[in-house]
Amino acid sequence: MIGALQMQAYRATGDEIYLTRAARTAAAYIERLQQPNGLFHHGPDAPFYWGRGNGWVAAGLAEIIDGLPEDNEYYDEVVRGYQRMMQALLEYQAEDGMWRQLIDYPDAWKETSGTAMFGYAMAAGINNGLLDEHLYGPAVEKAWTALQGYIEEDGRLSAVCVGTGQSLDENYYLERPTVTGDLHGQAPLLWFASELLSAD
């Protein structure tokens, strides 16, 4: 999540120290945590593709790229890492448009905060000309449509995983409880909606 935070600090202050920090951190994460399949382990000691953990990476990379000049020394590396991740996510999206608590576990339960973050990141990539709309547009539409089924009448999003630390036990992730209306889900849902509204 640090990438999105640093980019917001850059937008608010205009101080390039935040831009540089965001790009350098993203490049380091790509080098250390991105796996050959394009997804990210939750951490050095947590070899699982946790949904929201990857969601933070996806959203952060999309945010960084949105404000990073193409002549920045980290630009190409960050874009390549982002595009590899987006390609991997296409392969793991469920038929109904959702992504799962553990992305590569076909029997894991479907989780909304990660799905909203992935949808947002793909929509941003399409809007910035970094992703093929014909390839990624249907995935974005499916994700948005699927999420509507998790929005309660009062606007709260259900099936949001609670805060989750790193673990070496897959069951730790698979047995995490869910909550409704948590900001970990509400905010990404709004990011996703905003990005869709800003499309050309």
Per-domain residue ranges for the chain? 2-197
**Backbone φ and ψ of 160, nearest 5°:** -95, 125
Look at residue 105 in the predicted model and tell me its pLDDT: 98
Distance CA 9, CA 139 (A): 30
Alpha helices in the chain (DSSP H): 2-13, 16-33, 51-67, 75-92, 112-127, 133-148, 170-174, 183-197
Can you give the pLDDT at residue 200?
A: 65
pLDDT digits (tens, 9 = 90+) for 27-74: 999 999 999 999 999 988 899 999 999 999 999 999 999 999 999 999
Which among 144, 153, 142 has a CA at the least distance from the CA of 197?
Answer: 144
Distance CA 33, CA 114 (A): 18
> What fold characterizes domain 2-197?
Glycosyltransferase (1.50.10)
DSSP string, 86-109: HHHHHHH--TTS-EESBTT-TTSP
Enter the pTM of the model: 0.95
* 2: β partners: none
